[in-house]
Structure 1
C-alpha cells in the first residue's frame, strides 16, 4: 500500500509537509477513531496523527468485529508498514494500551522498527492484568459496565436502534480484553509513558507505574484529575503533556 492510498485501518490527519513524526492513537474497548478527532492537528505542523479504525464501527460498521487483541495488532502491524520510514509514537487508552504494547513488540520483531515512544493510559502493566469477564454475561451486564466506565455516549446506549448498531463492536472488544490474560512482560526497545486518572475506579497509579518493568529505556508516570476517561475532561492538559514528549530532542 502506497502512502497515497487510503487505509481502511487508519484515519490519517495529514500534515502539509512530510511529517517529522507520526502519532498513532489506539482507542479503548468499544471506542473508535472518532474519539481522537480533536487530536488530529493538536501536536504541531510536523506531527501527523493516525487513529486506528477497527472493524465493526463508524466507516466499518458493516464488518464483523475482531475478538482478540492479537488479531487487531497483527492487522495494524501490516497496515503500518508503509509508514515506518518516519519515526512513530503510539498512544493507547485502556484496551488500546495493550494493543500498543503488542504492536511495539511486533514492529520490533518483524520489521526491525522501534517506536520512539509508547504511551499507555489507564491500563495495568502486562504482568498485572486481571481479565474482567463480568460484562460477558449478557447485554445488560455489558451495558452496565460500559455506563459505569463512561466511555460511550449515553444517548447511543439509551436509543434501542443505535444501541443495536454499537453493541457488536463493544461486545467483541470486551471479549478481546477478557481473552488477554496477564503475561510475563517482554521489555521494549522504546521508552514508555504511563497516564492514569486519579479517581479511576479500577486502575491504581501503582499498577500503571509497573509498566516501568518493561521499559528499560525509561518510564514516566503522569496522574491527572478524573476517572477512567479523564482524557475527556483533561484533554488540554493531556495534549500539552504529549506535545512536550513529542517535541524535537534538544
Structure 2
C-alpha cells in the first residue's frame, strides 16, 4: 500500500502503471526540469521527477550537502513505489545520485531497476577536476558560467543569486565531496548520453560508465553542451522512450 503523498515526488505513482521512470535532477535543478516528460509516453508509463529539498515548492527545506545522507533518504522514500518495474534517469549530479540509489536498493532490499540511464555525467569513479563549492560567491558565480545552464541575466541579478547560491553550493558539495567506493557492478544495463560540446563529461568519461554494469552498455552523443537535456530534449527523449518501452507492453499513442 502506498504511503501518503511525499514532498520528494511531484505526484504519487499510479496503481495502473506498467513501468515507472524516476528522474533525478542536475545541480540546482528541480522536478520542473522533467515537467512535460509524461506527455512523451503512453499513459501506463509513469514519469516521476524527484524533488530535492531547497528548490521550487521545497524552497524552505534545508538542502542536503552529503551524498551518503541524501541517497539514504531517497532510497527510503522510493522503496514503497518500486512494486512495478522501474527505470532511473539522472542528469549530471542526478546521474551519480541515481547510481548510488541503485546500489543502496540492491544492498538493503535486493531491488534493481530494469535500466539505469545517465546523462551529462562523468562515470562515478572519476572525481570532479575543478571543484567550486568552496569558492567565494563572486568566484562561484563566475565558474557557473562554464555549465551554460544559468542565463546571464540571472547570474547578474544579485537578489536572485543570493537565493540560488546556497542551493547550488549545497548541490556542488554533494557532488564534489562524493567518494565512490568499489562494489560489484550493477546487474541492470546502463545507457549513457553526452553532449557533443559538453566540457563537463567527454566521451572517455562517459564510456567509463561501462565498468559499472555486468550487463549491456551503450553510449550515444547528442548535439549540444552540458544542457543538451534542454536544448535537444526531443532527441534525448526519443532514445529514452525506446529504452523504456522495451520493458513495457505499452505502445505509443498517436
Distance change in 2, residues 1:40/1:132 (3 Å): farther
**Secondary structure at 1:133's aligned position in 2?**
coil
TM-score, with normalisation over the residues of structure 1? 0.92
Deviates more, 1:131-140 or 1:32-41: 131-140
**Secondary structure at 2:125's aligned position in 1?**
helix
Equivalent-residue separation in structure 1 for 2:165 and 2:120 (angstroms): 22
Equivalent-residue separation in structure 2 for 1:77 and 1:135 (angstroms): 25
2:225 counterpart of 1:227 = yes
How far residue 59 of structure 1 moved from its aligned partner, in angstroms, is 1.0
How far residue 189 of structure 1 moved from its aligned partner, in angstroms, is 1.6
Please list, as runs of the form range in 1=range in 2, the aligned pairs for 1:76-115 lying within 5 A after superposition. 76-115=74-113
**Secondary structure at 2:73's aligned position in 1?**
helix
Equivalent-residue separation in structure 1 for 2:150 and 2:2 (angstroms): 32
Q: How many residues align?
A: 248
Equivalent-residue separation in structure 2 for 1:26 and 1:153 (angstroms): 22
Equivalent-residue separation in structure 2 for 1:124 and 1:234 (angstroms): 19
Structure 1 stretches lacking a partner, 5+ long? none
Equivalent-residue separation in structure 2 for 1:185 and 1:229 (angstroms): 30
How far residue 5 of structure 1 moved from its aligned partner, in angstroms, is 2.0
Equivalent-residue separation in structure 2 for 1:141 and 1:13 (angstroms): 40
How far residue 35 of structure 1 moved from its aligned partner, in angstroms, is 1.1
Q: 8 Å contact 2:28–2:167 — kept in the other structure?
A: yes
How far residue 145 of structure 1 moved from its aligned partner, in angstroms, is 2.2
Q: 8 Å contact 2:20–2:86 — kept in the other structure?
A: yes
How far residue 12 of structure 1 moved from its aligned partner, in angstroms, is 2.5
Q: Give the aligned partner of residue 252 of structure 2.
A: none
Q: 8 Å contact 1:73–1:99 — kept in the other structure?
A: yes
How far residue 227 of structure 1 moved from its aligned partner, in angstroms, is 0.8
2:239 counterpart of 1:241 = yes
Q: Give the aligned partner of residue 139 of structure 1.
A: 137
Q: 8 Å contact 1:127–1:185 — kept in the other structure?
A: no
TM-score, with normalisation over the residues of structure 2? 0.91
Cα deviations by residue, 1:153-207 (Å, 9 ceiling, x for unpaired): 4443332222222221101001111101354364002110001001111221121
How far residue 221 of structure 1 moved from its aligned partner, in angstroms, is 0.5
Please list, as runs of the form range in 1=range in 2, the aligned pairs for 1:1-250 lying within 5 A after superposition. 2-3=1-2, 5-12=4-11, 18-184=16-182, 186-249=184-247
Q: 8 Å contact 1:13–1:49 — kept in the other structure?
A: no
Equivalent-residue separation in structure 1 for 2:119 and 2:84 (angstroms): 24
Distance change in 2, residues 1:219/1:62 (3 Å): same
Distance change in 2, residues 1:86/1:188 (3 Å): same
Structure 2 stretches lacking a partner, 5+ long? 250-254
